[in-house]
Amino acid sequence: MKKFYAIVALIALTFGNIGLSSARETQSSKVQAESVAGVFDYYLLTLSWSPTFCLTHKDDAQCSGKGYGFVLHGLWPQYAKGGWPESCPPRVTLSPAENAKGLTLFPTQKLLNHEWAKHGTCSGLGAMGYLDASDKALGAVKIPQKLQPFSSSYYFEAQEIAQMFRQSNPGIPANGIAVICNGPELSEVRVCMGKDLGFGACGKGVKTQCRAGDIRVPPSR
C-alpha to C-alpha distance for 120 and 77, rounded to whole angstroms: 8
What's the CA angle centered on 61, arms 140 and 88, to 5 degrees? Answer: 60
Catalytic residue flag (residue 57): no
C-alpha to C-alpha distance for 49 and 146, rounded to whole angstroms: 13
Catalytic residue among 73, 98, 185, 188: 73
**Identity at 21, one-letter amino acid code:** S
Residue 70 bridge partners (DSSP):
49
Catalytic residue flag (residue 73): yes
Catalytic residue flag (residue 119): yes
Q: Tell me: cis bond preceding 51? Omega within 30 of 0 counts.
A: no
Catalytic residue among 25, 57, 114, 115: 115
Closest residue by Cα to residue 121 from 133, 130, 110, 134? 130
C-alpha to C-alpha distance for 60 and 47, rounded to whole angstroms: 17
Catalytic residue among 34, 86, 98, 119: 119
Catalytic residue set:
73, 115, 119
